[in-house]
A and B are shown apart, each in its own frame.
Chain A
Amino acid sequence: MSTGLIAWDTATPARAPLVETLHEWVTTVDHKRLGIMYVLYGLVLLMAGGVEATIMRIQLIRPLNHFVSPQVFNRMFTMHGTTMIFFVAMPMVFGFATYLVPLMIGARDMAFPRLNAFSFWMTAFGGLLLYSSFIGGDGLYGAGNAPDVGWFAYAPLTSRTFSVGHSTDFWTLSLLVSSVGSIGTAVNIIATVICMRCPGMTLGKMPLFAWLNIVMAGVAILAVSPLSAAQLMLMVDRYLGGHFFDTQAGGSAVMWMHFFWVFGHPEVYVLVIPAFAFASEIIPVFSRKAIFGYPVMVAATIGIGFISMSVWAHHMFTVGMPSNGNTFFVLSTMAIAVPTGIKIFNWLGTMWGGKIQFKTPMLFCVAFLFQFLIAGLTGVMLAVAPFNWQVSASYFVIAHFHYVIVGGILFNIFGAFYYWFPKVTGRMYDERLGQLHFWLFVIGFHVTFTLMHIPGILGMPRRIYTYEPGRGWDAWNLLVSIGAFIQALGILVFVGNLAWSYFRGKLAGSDPWDAWTLEWSISSPPPDYNFATIPEVRSRRPLWDLKHPEDPDWKYE
């Protein structure tokens, strides 16, 4: 029967008409297609956000530069931040989760396939709405198009008095719309992991990827919802004449800060926990060892999830909180370094004594370990309130969080791209181009963001559109900008590699890495129904058991 099916498949190579293919993709509820669309969507907006970053770096390449006006510069940093967090990082981690979680737990789809499609399209249209502001943000006032209030949009900048026109409305509405999508996907991931696991896969036998994503989804539910609430309040203020953040009527601008950061800080963990998930799958496979300390890894992740909810006001040390408040947030912020440190030791323990293969995904994950460690160290420095008062809102902070988001999260996203590319497309990427991308990016990253700490220490504030010569910032800014161009080059190599390999890459087969989780047990790309028969697992590495029946994992777990 199966041979008959294959013959039938190869006998109809004629492609469906374009309209039909498009219709299939637009109306699909298949988690694999939605996952691919999420990730491609993130890639497209990565380009947009990257162009905005490049414009900023060209403007800052030398003192008193006039590449863009101050107004345009404000729009660029606002759009860059909003795009990268909400419409690049979020769609990408959600895309990988939607694509991979059902495959890893042996399910045929997510728990709610239509909710999945709904969530994707909400996110997609949210981004479209944000970028429509370039056209429609002028309103009737001719008062500037794209949002220019910064990505955390502090009050009273967002009030009608200081933000005429519609740019802030575009900002707040697009975030509200995409938040609905994010909450939908988070609900879906939790329901999928809890309710759709294949027989034998108890919680303790799930791949760490599934564990980390369910924690991420839990944090997302509790973090994104407050953001939606805050956006609703902002809309009440802007459209209905409310006074939530109107200090002249008794409202409070600090309330907005709390509401934003009670979302904003857990959001970092919403993004970094999936990055941890990628590392937890890639590092064992390329070290040829099972993950070290599985239960501790799970416990540390849950610990991070909890503590991440109680650290938000370390973004607000300079606002002037009572000293009790400062002390609490200093201590909780330092406490979160403990479970994170446990994780780093676990990955090192996995690599220790392993037969390490430095393929492109592994290279990105190893770089992640170094860079995330340094990001964590500057994080602990910034957690110390008196130090924070000195460097808050300087380029030191910018360097710190780009170390987290680029050096930590984006590096692992690249690793995940290369690791699962053969599964998704059925073809291998080009290893030499992959390594070229890695080296370009790692050099560009360090030239930009390692050096960026220094002008921050020297007192260069964030969000200034230019600066005077002779403050000791000139050379650093030049180097930082050069690094940005090297990174942009790396991204071009990356996209070129993906496009070329999609059409011309070697056929990958179902299991090119000799890996152990269920997604590698089915063909590449996976069939529509994922698993012809629902698998049954007895250990955390079902494919190891299958390949080594003489020495299976379940004897030891």
Chain B
Amino acid sequence: MSSMSVSLPRPQPWVLPSRGVVGMCCLIAAESAIFTIFVIAYLFYIGKSVTGPQPENVLRVPIFFTVCLLSSSATIHIAVRQLHDGKERMFALWWLLTLILGALFLGGTALEWRRLIYDEGLTISTNLFGTTYYSLVGLHAFHVTVGLIALTSVAAFTALRLIKREHAGRLHVLSMYWHFVDAVWVVVFTVVYLIGR
């Protein structure tokens, strides 16, 4: 077979997609399916709670924390771009900013839950609204937490000066996950705070 290919014109170089990117796309598809089910449940159960509190009485739109999370998508993109260009210090700064913005968002969720539980008396077992609200927002917060753990470990490696330019591809895969978490928040925000209120 090899002797045959000698007589042939030189073939195109054989390049296939990065397995990290493909794997992450598949994971995102799976996660999207999970979120879809929770979102459908949320939409279906709007207004079906037989007891209070109802969402229009207790929910406040978390605009500041939403801005934090959505802008962290931009900062992580810039961070990976900086690393790709070999500017490791700038990468570290933008990465840290992403981490802070993500942590702020999670803190915002924590504060909101604290208010709802202690001031409004809404828990996951209070009524159907509580069940769907804490499940959907909690599922998202869980994904933010997983993302923050990943971001923090990269930050730790950066502090140890272990993150080099050649890791830009891997961090790009991680940033895809973070973009996904942000995109899901757009859906959750729309469903919970705009449609459901």
Contact = CB atoms under 8 A, between A and B. Distances in A.
A225 B16 contact: no
A111 B1 CA distance: 26
B16 to A, nearest CB: 5
B30 A250 contact: no
A197 interface: yes
Nearest to B35: A229
Given A221-B29, A228-B34, A255 B41 contact: yes
B125 A242 contact: yes
B135 A236 contact: yes
A401 interface: no
Size range of the interface on A? 35 or more
Contact of A225 (B22, B30, B132, B139): B30
Query: Considering residues A229, A230, A233, which has the most beta carbons from chain B within 10 angstroms of its beta carbon?
Result: A229
Interface in A260-280: 262
B-side interface mostly = helix
Interface in A74-113: 111-112
B33 A222 contact: yes
A157 interface: no
Contacts of A255: 41, 44
A546 B44 contact: no
B17 interface: yes
B108 to A, nearest CB: 23
B49 interface: yes
Given A187-B26, A233-B41, A251 B128 contact: yes
A223 to B, nearest CB: 8
B36 A226 contact: yes
Contacts of A250: 45, 48-50, 127-128
B131 A236 contact: yes
A154 to B, nearest CB: 16
Interface residues of B, number: 39
A255 B41 CA distance: 8
Nearest to A110: B19
B19 A196 contact: yes
Contact of A243 (B17, B36, B38, B128): B128
A109 to B, nearest CB: 11
Contacts of B125: 240-243
Contacts of A197: 16
A498 to B, nearest CB: 34
Most B Cβ at <10 Å: residue of A217, A221, A241, A242: A242
Nearest to B50: A250
A206 interface: no
Interface in B9-33: 11, 14, 16-19, 22-23, 26-27, 29-33
B34 A195 contact: no
A194 B19 CA distance: 8
A493 B124 CA distance: 54
Nearest to A241: B125
B37 interface: yes
A37 B165 CA distance: 39
Contacts of B127: 243, 249-250
A244 interface: yes
Interface in A147-192: 183, 186-188, 190-192
A232 interface: yes
A259 interface: yes
A496 interface: no
A233 B132 CA distance: 9
Interface string B59-81: 00000000000000000000000
B16 A230 contact: no
B41 to A, nearest CB: 6
Interface string A420-463: 00000000000000000000000000000000000000000000
A120 B33 CA distance: 22
B157 to A, nearest CB: 19
A227 to B, nearest CB: 9
Nearest to B27: A187
Interface string B124-138: 110110011001000
Contacts of A243: 125, 127-128, 131
A187 B31 CA distance: 12
B170 to A, nearest CB: 13
A527 interface: no
A111 B38 contact: no
A39 to B, nearest CB: 23
Contact of A194 (B17, B30, B37, B51): B17
26 contacts: A112-B19, A186-B26, A187-B23, A187-B26, A187-B27, A187-B30, A190-B23, A195-B22, A197-B16, A199-B11, A222-B29, A222-B30, A225-B32, A225-B34, A226-B36, A230-B37, A232-B139, A233-B38, A241-B125, A242-B124, A249-B127, A249-B128, A250-B127, A259-B37, A536-B1, A549-B4
Interface of B: 1-2, 4-5, 11, 14, 16-19, 22-23, 26-27, 29-38, 41, 44-45, 48-51, 124-125, 127-128, 131-132, 135, 139
Given A191-B22, A242-B125, A251-B48, 13 more contacts: A111-B19, A112-B23, A188-B23, A194-B19, A221-B33, A232-B34, A232-B135, A233-B41, A241-B124, A242-B135, A249-B51, A250-B127, A252-B45
Closest 10 CB pairs of A and B: A241-B125, A225-B33, A229-B37, A242-B131, A195-B19, A187-B26, A199-B14, A250-B48, A111-B19, A191-B23
